[in-house]
Amino acid sequence: MISIVVTQEFANLRLDKFICKKFDISFALAQKIIREKKLKVNEKKADPSYKIETSDQITIFADLPKRFETKKNKAKISVEKLQKFLTNKIFEDENLIAIDKPSGLATQGGSGIEISVDDFVTSQKWQLVHRLDKDTSGVLLIAKNNETAEFLTNAFRDKLVKKTYLALVNGVVKKENGTINIPLRKKLLGKNEKVSPDFTDGKEAITKFKILKKFSNYTLLELNPLTGRMHQLRVHCKEIGHPILNDVKYGGKEVLKKDLCKRLCLHAAKIEIENYNGQKLEIATVAPEFI
């Protein structure tokens, strides 16, 4: 019997694809194992298309070989590359590393991505416990061991981690502060995924916001997501009529302001973790260049 606790980096992945990522088996065999009820999620049978969530308990009643990436598919991490990556480090102790991830560096690998944070992390046998979009910069946590990965996964699930983002949005926001409560649903459009409001089948998504500074045509917002949906902040800002600058995917060409800043104007500025080694841990970055 094999037991797995899903970490946040795999949230929203199909169950059958997750099994293929973890074990050296074919997609067809993964589906067969699920259909034959040799696998349970949270002690219940599940469908191969089920989208796994953070802290899901997956139990497999079969012996499966673990998957090891081949040298062909795995990015080569030299000492020099690792040292350069670690220049982004803003916190470290015996259990945890936090980096200020640059915009443009993917958290995980995928089509067209040569190297990602995960490549550096796995080369050191560390673990990602959450993720940031490729174009979003800011605090990213990396667990050095299984115990810390489990602690942080549970902390995210139990809402004991507070995340604070800074976003420069299009237009002048009138309301000084408020809460955006719009359920979201991820949809596949060709080969791309896009998130849209869905009050019927969407998942709960809640974001608190407050104005930090107003400009003639823009507003600097502080955003605190209370849930962790894909592209939540980007879609929520768009839905209140103020998409994030340079977020063409959700705001269209009118928010393209490369003369102001050449990147997506969204930054994970601070993370606060309750009861980390018995006390509150706060990790913050320097201000991003778009401020």
* CATH number belonging to the domain at 2-60, selected among 3.10.290.10, 3.30.499.10, 3.30.70.2190, 3.30.450.20: 3.10.290.10
Q: Which ranges in the chain belong to alpha helices (H)? A: 15-22, 27-35, 79-85, 117-123, 146-157, 232-239, 248-251
Cβ neighbours around 156 below 10 Å, total: 21
- The pLDDT tens digits for 226-262 are 998 989 999 999 999 999 999 999 999 999 999 899 9
Cβ neighbours around 77 below 10 Å, total: 16
- The pLDDT tens digits for 160-195 are 999 999 999 999 999 999 999 999 998 877 667 789
Q: How far apart are CA 260 and CA 225, in angstroms?
A: 26
DSSP, collapsed to helix, strand or coil, labels residue 283 as strand
User: Are the beta carbons of 276 and 162 closer than 8 angstroms?
Assistant: no
Query: Which residues does the annotation mark as catalytic?
Result: 133
User: Is 163-268 the same fold as 79-160?
Assistant: yes
Q: Percentages helix, strand, coil for the chain, rounded to the nearest 5?
A: 20, 35, 45
Has residue 6 got a pLDDT over 80?
Answer: yes
Has residue 20 got a pLDDT over 90?
Answer: no
Q: How far apart are CA 49 and CA 31, in angstroms?
A: 9
The whole-number pLDDT of residue 274 equals: 93
The whole-number pLDDT of residue 75 equals: 66
- What share of the chain has pLDDT > 90, as a percent? 53
The third-level CATH classification (topology) of the domain covering 163-268 is Pseudouridine synthase (3.30.2350)
Could you tell me which residues come within 8 angstroms of residue 29 by beta carbon, excluding any fewer than 6 positions away?
none
pTM listed for this prediction: 0.77
Has residue 72 got a pLDDT over 60?
Answer: no
Name the pLDDT band for 70 (thresholds 50, 70, 90).
very low
Provide the greatest CA pair distance for the chain.
62
Q: For the residues of 253-276, what is the DSSP string, one character each?
A: GGG--TTT-SS--EEEEEEEEEEE
Q: How far apart are CA 65 and CA 22, in angstroms?
A: 9
Token pair 């420069």 in the structure block, residue: 168
- The pLDDT tens digits for 116-130 are 898 888 888 888 888
Q: Where are the domains of the chain?
A: 2-60, 79-160, 163-268
| Six token digits for residue 116 | 């990602």
Phi, psi of 32 (to 5 degrees): -65, -45
Has residue 71 got a pLDDT over 50?
Answer: no
Check residues 101 and 26 and name the one with the higher pLDDT.
Answer: 101
User: Are the beta carbons of 20 and 66 closer than 8 angstroms?
Assistant: no
The whole-number pLDDT of residue 165 equals: 98
Task: Work out the average pLDDT over 85-112.
Answer: 90
Superfamily, domain 79-160: Pseudouridine synthase (3.30.2350.10)
Could you tell me which residues come within 8 angstroms of residue 12 by beta carbon, excluding any fewer than 6 positions away?
51, 52, 53, 186, 230
Has residue 47 got a pLDDT over 80?
Answer: yes
